[in-house]
Every structure is written in structure tokens, then in C-alpha cells.
Amino acid sequence: MTRAELDKSPADVAAMFDSIAARYDLLNDVLSLGEDRQWRRAVVRAVEAYSGELVLDLAAGTGTSSLSFTENGAKVVACDFSQGMLRVGAEQRGGASAQGVTCVVGDALALPFADETFDAVTISFGLRNVQDPEQALRELRRVTKVGGRLVVCEFSHIPVRPVDRIYSGYLMAALPRVARLFTRNTGAYEYLSESIADWPDQPALAARLQRAGWSRVAWRNLTFGVVALHRGYRES
């Protein structure tokens, strides 16, 4: 059974996602009771990519989110260090460069792109899995054009503490049991629960974005704060 620990060793994280790639999208729908589709629509609206723009979808996984950014004609680079996840997505879209999405293998901590390449950069459910999130946020800023924007979609915390405790109970107890019905790699879903519980809340993540150099940082909650969308701009 392949799972990562909270030290987020890159080799363990990549191997874990390789091992669950084939069932990744199905499990997302099941475990979120279909809410993931609403979250993804909210990300597409927040990124607001249009024709002529180049978007980086970092930690793109199978690229479920990447394809939606092409709706108004933008081109998308789907970057991830799990070749297994990228491969599953490429097979679904008909190639490693198809339907406006180009897959690139790369590490969030040292992105394989020149400075000021992208009009918009985004990362969904990926930043929590990166060993050094602030370094990833600095790298995202480096490859963004001046005036460009960042949207981070990540699990977060429900601001009402007693409700957040009940939700954490679901995460730790029920989620891995439900996952067991669909996958042998229950360790990956124990890691999911633990990493969400361990992740900073909305103001703390906003502070990280600011420390990494992003300006005009703001966030909004989705599904009562189960997920939060953080936004920032590169101003200089």
C-alpha cells in the first residue's frame, strides 16, 4: 500500500498518486458527494481565462480541472510530477497535447518554465501535498506575467468550530472507510484526511500567499469552508 506521510516526501507523494491514478476521478465524485464539480466550476469562474491567454494548471493530476480552462479559447499547460496521473488524463483527452491542454512533467518546487510565462496560474487540491508550499507559491509567482493572477483551490476549515470538529470526525473516521469500498489503497485516503486536518485555515493560507509575494490576496469559502478559493495578483 503506497501512502505519503505528513512530511510530504516528494517520492512518496508522487508514488501515491501514481498508484491511485486510475480511480482518482471516480473517488473524488464519491467522497465529495458530487460537490467537487461545483468547486471546479467556481475555480473556472475565478480564473476567468479567455482566448489568447496561457494558463498553468499546477499539480493538474489527470487534468480534470485543466480542460475547463480552455472553454473560452485559452491554452492550458497541465503540470504534475506524477506521470501516472498525467498519463490517465492524456489517455482521456486523446494525447499528451490535445484539446488545448499540454501535459508537462514538472515539480512545483522548481518549475520547468521561464520567468513571466503565464497569464494565470492555478492549483487545485495540490498545494496541500507539496513539501514546501511557500516555495511553490514563489515559483508560481516567478512564472506569472506581471499583472497576472493566481487562484488556489484547497480543502480548508469550517469557521464555526463545533461544526468543524464534526466535519473532522467524518474525515478521520468515515472517509477512509467509504474509500475502502472503491480502492485497495486506503492509506492514500487516510493521508487525505490527515493532510486536510493538518492544513492551515483560510487567514493562515492568505498570509502564506502574501509572504510569497502575491498582492491583493483574498479568499472565499465554498460549501461552508470545506473548500476555500484564494486569489492573488503579481503586481511587480
Ligand X SMILES: C[S@@+](CC[C@H](N)C(=O)[O-])C[C@H]1O[C@@H](n2cnc3c(N)ncnc32)[C@H](O)[C@@H]1O
The one-letter code for the residue type at 155 is F
Minimum distance from residue 143 beta carbon to ligand X (Å): 13
Q: Does 188 bind ligand X (CB under 6 A)?
A: no
Binding residues among 111-130 for ligand X as defined by CB under 6 A: 124-126, 129-130
The span from the CA of 11 to the CA of 24, in Å, is: 18
Task: Check if the beta carbon of residue 39 is closer than 8 Å to that of residue 103.
Answer: no
* b/e 162-189 (16+ beta carbons within 10 angstroms → b): eebeebeeebeeebbeebeeebebbbbb
Q: Does 175 bind ligand X (CB under 6 A)?
A: no
The span from the CA of 162 to the CA of 76, in Å, is: 40
Task: Check if the beta carbon of residue 142 is closer than 8 Å to that of residue 111.
Answer: yes
From 58-66, 95-103, 167-175, 176-184, span contacting ligand X (CB under 6 A): 58-66
Q: Closest CB to ligand X belongs to which residue?
A: 61
Judged by beta carbon, residue 25 or residue 116, the one nearer ligand X is 25
Q: Does 64 bind ligand X (CB under 6 A)?
A: yes
From 57-65, 159-167, 180-188, 203-211, span contacting ligand X (CB under 6 A): 57-65
Q: Does 39 bind ligand X (CB under 6 A)?
A: no
Q: Which residue has the cell 510530477?
A: 81
Minimum distance from residue 126 beta carbon to ligand X (Å): 4
From 68-76, 101-109, 174-182, 183-191, span contacting ligand X (CB under 6 A): 101-109
Binding residues among 192-221 for ligand X as defined by CB under 6 A: none
Task: Check if the beta carbon of residue 88 is closer than 8 Å to that of residue 23.
Answer: no
The span from the CA of 172 to the CA of 194, in Å, is: 7
| Sites of contact with ligand X (CB under 6 A) | 10, 13-14, 17, 59-61, 64-65, 80-82, 85, 107-109, 124-126, 129-130
